[in-house]
Structure 1
Amino acid sequence: MRRRHRRLTATADLDITAFLNLMIVLVPVLLLGMVFSQIRMIELNFPGLEMGEAPEVESFRLVVTVLPDGMELTDSDRGVIEVLPADREGQNYARLSTLLQGIKSRLPDKTDITLEVGPDIDYQTLVSVMDTVRSYPAVVAASVVQAELFPEISLMDAGEARELAARPAAVKGEGV
């Protein structure tokens, strides 16, 4: 009679060390290469009063009107200060910043401004105007910093039929 020899079968151990090493290296590399979205928030003040609050009399109100044709800067005392028509490149942010810097140098305690926004203004233009009226780049001690202009921004809608004002004419008189 023949004997049947049983073959000894051993269970194979899984060797996953190489795979784990790969994962330990791959996960941090993928995380470092990931682009995280950045969200910036701009604090806004909307016109209106809370319940029971009495309106205060403002002596000087600065308004920047943003329309597709350009921008105009007005105040409560003199009316239209400057009209900045848009050109092929877009709005004239540099001139607006220069005008606001001049006003800020005369009124350093004023921190609020109102943006009157036309109905056809896109979001990027609105944010660019808000950045322009909030601060400007200044050199302090050989480094560039953002100097404050008017950080308290209020928004309001310009009317549907609102158009850019005519440029203020130069007053002819003595010394002009």
Structure 2
Amino acid sequence: MGFKIKRQNTDDAEIDVTSFMNLMIVLVPVLLMSMTFTKVSVMEINLPELGGGPGNSSLDQSQLEVMVRKTGMQVYFPAGSLVKDIPLLEDGKQDFQTLSLVMREVKKKVVDKTDALILLTKDLEYQTLLNTMDT
């Protein structure tokens, strides 16, 4: 009497990956939203020279400001120190010729100065800004 062992035909089991895919569908957007992007910024630092006293280098680093208002223009150099208050012309327009002369005087004092800060009030036209920049 012999016992015969019957082998059952078993198919290979397939891996069910739907739960893993569901996890990835949720996990990937969450990780992407939690990423922080770093911003690389460059700061320009103007250090004083080793020479000692305040010479022309302090004027070189000073800010030249042109404030344009409906009532006229003011030129400040260094920042906060009024150089010239330029009133409007008789026809009510800005006096860009006088502004040009004042800017030339400042340029004579500090030859290396190449930038200026233009401050405008909200009620001025864009053309006024362009004319100021051209001057």
Instruction: State the Cα RMSD in Å.
Output: 2.1
- 2:100 pairs with 1:111: no
State the aligned residue count. Answer: 83
Letter of the structure 2 residue corresponding to residue 103 of structure 1: V
Q: Secondary structure at the match of 1:51?
A: coil
Aligned to 1:125: 128
Q: CA deviation at 1:56?
A: 2.2
Q: CA deviation at 1:55?
A: 4.5
Say which structure, 1 or 2, has more relative contact order (CA 8 Å, 6+ apart): 1
**In 2, distance between residues paired with 1:75 and 1:51?**
32
Aligned to 1:53: 42
Q: Where in structure 1 do 4 or more consecutive aligned residues deviate above 6 Å?
A: none
Structure in which a larger fraction of residues adopt strand: 1
**In 2, distance between residues paired with 1:83 and 1:95?**
10
Aligned to 1:85: 87
Preserved contact between residue 76 and residue 82 of structure 2 (Cα < 8 Å): yes
- Evaluate the alpha carbon distance shift between residue 124 and residue 78 of structure 1 in structure 2; reply closer, same or farther with a 3 A threshold: closer
Structure in which a larger fraction of residues adopt helix: 2
- In structure 1, runs of 5+ residues without a counterpart are 1-49, 133-176
Q: CA deviation at 1:126?
A: 1.1
- Evaluate the alpha carbon distance shift between residue 90 and residue 113 of structure 1 in structure 2; reply closer, same or farther with a 3 A threshold: same
Letter of the structure 2 residue corresponding to residue 56 of structure 1: I
Aligned positions of 1:67-86 closer than 5 A: 67-76=69-78, 79-86=81-88
2:97 pairs with one of 86, 94, 98: 94
Aligned positions of 1:15-26 closer than 5 A: none
Aligned to 1:63: 65
- In structure 2, runs of 5+ residues without a counterpart are 1-38, 47-57
Q: CA deviation at 1:77?
A: 5.8
1:58-87 CA distance string (max 9 Å, x none)? 821100011111100002366111111213
Aligned positions of 1:28-39 closer than 5 A: none
**In 2, distance between residues paired with 1:75 and 1:104?**
11
Q: CA deviation at 1:112?
A: 0.6
| TM-score normalised according to structure 1 size | 0.43
**In 1, distance between residues paired with 2:76 and 2:42?**
27
| TM-score normalised according to structure 2 size | 0.54
